[in-house]
Amino acid sequence: MKVIGLAGWSGAGKTTLLTRLIPHFNAQGLRVSVIKHAHHQFDVDVPGKDSWRHREAGAAEVLVASSSRWALMHELRGAAEPRLPELLSKLSAVDLVVVEGFKREPHRKIEVHRAANGKPLLFPDDPGIAGIATDVAIDTRLPTVHLDDIEAAAKLLLRAAMPVEEAVAKSTAMR
């Protein structure tokens, strides 16, 4: 199992790029999972539904299952936010895990940069950035691909992806 991150400012197009890459990887026969970091309180449950009511009542975890999918919701209830290694350990084995966010973790990342966003590049200050997907020319030695070149972006992600064990070891050493 390998892991690669997508890092960039809000509005740069990380999610858009990822939703175009996943079908490309699937067509190549690769199984892909995603870990998405949210900077705010979010809900994957519908207020008023049974599972929401169970969480609101104080359940530590609520697992919802159907013939189509299952989802496990874990409430932190004041505990520290889990770091990337802990979250990686919760996933089933796949070929590639793409991490959207967690830009302070030391795993390898591809920076997603959109000029119209008006934000500075992250790569000069993040040694974990192994390449850039962008819509403008950038003066760097790092490999760059255009945001709309899905095949080139996919190749860049696969080349830069690192074994999960290596990502976990780097993160653990950072503590």
Cα-based torsion angle of the residue sequence 122, 126, 130, 133 in order, rounded to the nearest 10 degrees: -10
pLDDT of residue 16: 95
pLDDT of residue 174: 76
CA 92 to chain CA centroid, Å, is 15
How does pLDDT run across 43-91, given as a tens digit for each residue? 788 888 888 889 888 888 898 888 988 888 898 888 998 889 999 999 9
pLDDT tens track of the chain, all 175 residues? 999 999 999 999 999 999 999 999 999 999 999 999 887 677 788 888 888 889 888 888 898 888 988 888 898 888 998 889 999 999 999 999 999 988 788 899 999 999 999 999 999 888 999 999 999 999 999 999 999 999 999 999 999 999 999 998 888 887 6
Of residues 131, 153, 133, 151, the one with CA closest to residue 141? 131
Percent above pLDDT 70 for the chain: 98
Q: What is the DSSP string of 63-81?
A: EEE-SS-EEEEE--TTPPP
Number of H helices, E strands in the chain: 5, 9
Strands 162-163 and 2-7: antiparallel
The average confidence (pLDDT) of the chain is 92
The DSSP symbol for 123 reads G
Written as one letter, the residue type at 118 is G
Q: If you compute the radius of gyration of the chain from its CA atoms, what whole number of angstroms results?
A: 17
pLDDT of residue 70: 87
